[in-house]
Structure 1
Amino acid sequence: MLDNACKHFPTIPRDAVTFQTNQLDICEGHYVDITAETWDKVIDLLTSVEVTRAEIPLPVPLLPSNAGAISLPGNQSAAGSAPQPEDNGHDGLSTDGKVMLQLVLPSGDIVSVTVKRAARVQKLVDIAARKSGSCPTNYMAVWLGSRLHHENSIGSYGIEDGEFINFWIQQVGGKPVIYLYSPSDVDVSVKLSLSPEWSFSAIYPFVTPKQEYGQHVEWNVRTHQDGNLTEKNSGLDISYLFWEAKTNSDAFPRSPASEPQSVGVFSPTSSTLGDADSIVVSVDEVTIYLDKSLKALGLHTEARTSFITYWLPSILKHEYIALRFVPQPAYERTASLSISPQPDVVTRIFMLFRGICKEHLTDWSNAQIQAEKDVGWWADVVGVDLSRASDMALFRVLEWGGMEVLI
């Protein structure tokens, strides 16, 4: 694990790599260190560990042999919340002068900058976003495993010359909608369970999310033969169920050294597109390409129109678009859908896309060739049974959604 951590987090010195968890009862919600001596005792009890840079000389013992609880030092902070600056500047560090910092961009590139200690963290965020060609509102700054508040000064955190500041992007899964078509009116339960990499940001009709391994929601609806639904809790008549989720990048940061995922893998916080698994077309061609592809994937006219018009404002910001569709089994592992009574066929379409500038087209030669292929190949990639998906005598479920990959 230490070897892998050093590979994926090259900015952390090997002797400063620390593994932490807050998943055990004795942690009481705080992140504490997992020592080498306790690793074998706890690893099978955890679903994830946090890799961070040691902030204290000695690790906090996770499972002391002579105690039933953990005593945390006063300066230990939970992961995801930055160390707070002193109220009156009595931390012994001056906010005057300048500091030289290493900004680790989401791409893994490192940029050296010199800024005033009195400058806000927002200044670093703006620099990182400008260097990456992205919107600063999507960025978070992280130092020593903790998130920095954009309005605070750099000097207030005691950041020294040469320190590394990591920048992550929070991505959002945009407007997945779920249609249910039944040949007769029937009461249906629809349960959607997210992996911990995601948290719901919008739900309609609203139902309260519940927390287990990850968040889940459950709608109870009555289907109608015209394709509309009635949500039983609110009495609302609707065309589809809607959900949206944000990525939990604080807990599942994208590794700067992460490699492109295989076609059969989908991670909301580390989504990738590559020359081998995607297509690239100009913005002028993308709407026609999408309409043909979505039709081949079983989307009816209204669904295709809604899909394209929802993503069109984001698409038009770019010169070229790289896109791919996620195989259903990979998508199901991060957003599991359980429906009762069980449908005859379920079709779940989720698109990943990103903008490509003209000068980078040479890196996408194969993807440009693949754009010339018949769009029917996407049905095999996703795993769509088009004949059953269009059989009106069957109880059918159709979902579409997508996400812009910002790096």
Structure 2
Amino acid sequence: MPKDSSKGATAVSKSGRLFTLRYDTRTILVPRPQSYQFATQQARKHFKSIGEKGVIFRTGEVDAFPGQTVEVTEDIWVDVIDSITSLEVVKMNDSAEDLAVVQRAPALPKAESLDGQAEEALEKRERITVTFAGWSRGVQDVTFTCYLTTRLGTLFRAYCARTGRCEEDFRFIFAAARMAAHETVGRYVLAFEGPYVIDVTPVQNGGKPIIYVWTPQPRQVSVNLSLIPQWEFSALYPVAPIIATKNIQGTGQSATWEVATRDDGTLLDKATGLEVSYLFWEAHTTKALRGKLDSPPVSRPSSPAPTAEAFDPVNASLSDEDSVLLRVADMTPYLDACLRALGLHVAARSDFITYWLPSLLKHEYVALRFVPQESYEQAAPLTVSPAPDVVVRVFMIFQGVSPDEVGSWSAAQARAGDDVALWRRVVGLAAEDQLQDKSLSRVLEWGGMEVLA
């Protein structure tokens, strides 16, 4: 049925349950995407040929433009999404022709938030050159010509289309400030003389840390997890309130689960009523800091002052001196042996390896190490009450190594032949494995992070 587009009509809500995404010859029903990021996730999930390429969204249902197909950008998303029922998905190619829109687009209207002095400067310096500088390994440098009134979201999407990456993979920093997609280029650069360089910092994710809690008898247990400001929660399960908390580094986050342990090892979350095998959390890095990270106090007030350097998720690194290097073909048996030595039971080992396997398989060689528990505790303090008899926190970091760099990892290659028990000493665990002693109250956590820098 033709759409009624009365003259002068404004956006009218059509926010029912049904919404469609169309790509190529397929049209599918999806939940109404209330954010640009969710729409992008749905497009990549259901239209596999898009892969990690950037996408744009178009619609012909905007009442103010009858008969026209217009692009719906992230900047206008919330104003439009409830007034339409479908979007066309278009994959962005990384050709210069597709990216030229950034260079030849007409200047956008001046941002209303700019003062008179800024507007005068805009008239004098309408077009500029901006370079996205990737200071980390594997992050490309790209230069664009744009207008001072160009929205940063347009530049971010063009950069990601050129590099074949997702916008969510990066933080964009100028003059030590994180840039917001809805702002104009001029908002950030007008106070500075060129050249204009935007630092591109990869977002690193702490992937699937999960927490098991076992007690000899069923009991009520409180589990509190805190994060320093260098990373923040991206997911919790069961869902729990995220609270801003102060620490020596600034304002971090914390979350608390109140659970009942059971004889079969499962947990009952009191807030949601969910029965779960473990508690799940995930986090992503928030900002890059210069220099070493100060060691914040550990979570237990009675604990002695930490002697190990705090783990910094933003500046996590591996070297020939502290890691092992393996061909990815040899990775799974080595990793299983390491996790067994660290006390992980069969299900935990299987979950760990299968979770990280797709990331590992992207590389021909992989360097890895396990973070000392005392260092990791300072970045993600964990407090369990009543206090358990045994706490084991296993956190692995790894990075891909190209074949032409293997020669720089000779010690790490040799170390891969050592007894995997070395990782118990590195993590700081007792020689005797107490995780299997069911007469004790025990907590086991495992997680990891791929280092992209």
Decide which of 157, 162, 173 is 1:142's aligned counterpart.
Answer: 173
Look up the equivalent residue of 1:240 and give its one-letter code.
Y
1:208–1:97: structure 2 CA closer, same or farther, 3 Å change rule? closer
| CA distance in structure 1 between the aligned counterparts of 2:204 and 2:277, rounded to whole angstroms | 26
Match of 1:231 in 2: 269
Aligned partners of 1:243, 1:109: CA distance in 2, in Å?
Answer: 27
The reply to whether residue 121 of structure 1 matches residue 155 of structure 2 is yes
1:382 maps to 427
Residue by residue, what CA displacement relative to the aligned partner does 1:80-104 show, whole Å, maximum 9, x if unpaired? xxxx973599343367655374735
CA apart distance, 1:122: 2.4
Q: How far has the Cα of 1:315 moved from its partner?
A: 1.2
User: How big is the shift at 1:400?
Assistant: 0.4
Say yes or no: does 1:196 pair with 2:225: no
- Tell me the equivalent position of 2:240: 207
Deviations 1:86-137 (A, max 9, x none): 35993433676553747352359996x653124843277449x95xx97654
Distance 1:404 1:245 in 2: 12
For the 8 Å contact 1:230–1:238, the answer to whether it is kept is yes
Matched, 1:86 2:111: yes
> Is the Cα contact below 8 Å between 1:168 and 1:254 reproduced in 2?
no
Asked which structure has the greater RCO (Cα within 8 Å, sep 6+), the reply is 1
The secondary structure found in structure 2 opposite 1:220 is: strand
Structure 2: distance between partners of 1:299 and 1:243: 18
- 2:440 aligns with one of 394, 397, 404: 394
In structure 2, give the amino acid aligned to 1:140.
R
Deviation at 1:205, TM superposition (A): 0.9
Q: Measure the CA separation in 2 of the matches of 1:100 and 1:340.
A: 52
State the match for 1:359 in structure 2: 404
Structure-to-structure mapping, 1:198-347, within 5 angstroms:
198-213=231-246, 214-249=252-287, 253-255=288-290, 264-347=309-392
Q: Helix, strand or coil: the match of 1:117? A: strand
Following TM superposition, by how much is the alpha carbon of 1:368 offset from its aligned partner in structure 2, in angstroms? 0.9
2:136 to 106, 126, 132: 106
Distance in 2, matches of 1:378 and 1:124, equals: 43
Deviates more, 1:141-150 or 1:196-205: 141-150
Q: Secondary structure at the residue paired with 1:359?
A: helix
Residue correspondence of structure 1 range 14-33 to structure 2 within 5 A? none
Structure 1 counterpart of 2:206: 173
Note the alpha carbon deviations across 1:324-378, whole angstroms, 9 max, x for none: 1011111111111111111111111001111111111122111111111111100
Task: State the TM-score, normalizing by the size of structure 1.
Answer: 0.69
Percent identity over the alignment is 41
Asked if the contact 2:133/2:140 (under 8 Å) is kept, the reply is yes
TM-aligned CA distance change 1:97 to 1:231, over 3 Å: closer
* Residue 404 (1) aligns with residue 433 (2): no
d(CA) in 2 for partners of 1:307 and 1:373? 22
Cα 1:108–1:306, aligned 2, differ >3 Å: closer, same or farther?
closer
The amino acid across from 1:99 in the alignment is: T
- What stretches of structure 2 of length at least 5 have no aligned partner? 1-108, 247-251, 294-306
Could you tell me how far apart the structure 2 residues matched to 1:230 and 1:109 are? 43
How many Å separate the matches in 2 of 1:388 and 1:283? 31
Superposition CA RMSD, Å: 3.2
1:301 Cα deviation after fit:
0.2
* Rg larger for: 2
User: Secondary structure at the residue paired with 1:331?
Assistant: helix
> Per the alignment, do residues 140 and 279 of structure 1 end up closer, same or farther by CA in structure 2, a change over 3 Å counting?
same
SS in 2 for 1:176: strand
Report SS of the residue matched to 2:381: strand
Q: 1:212 corresponds to which letter in structure 2?
A: T
Are the counterparts in 2 of residues 121 and 149 from structure 1 also a CA contact under 8 Å? Answer: no
TM-score, normalised to structure 2, is 0.63
8 Å Cα contact 1:263/1:277 also seen in 2: no
In structure 1, list runs of 5 or more residues that go unmatched: 1-83
Distance 1:100 1:136, change over 3 A: closer
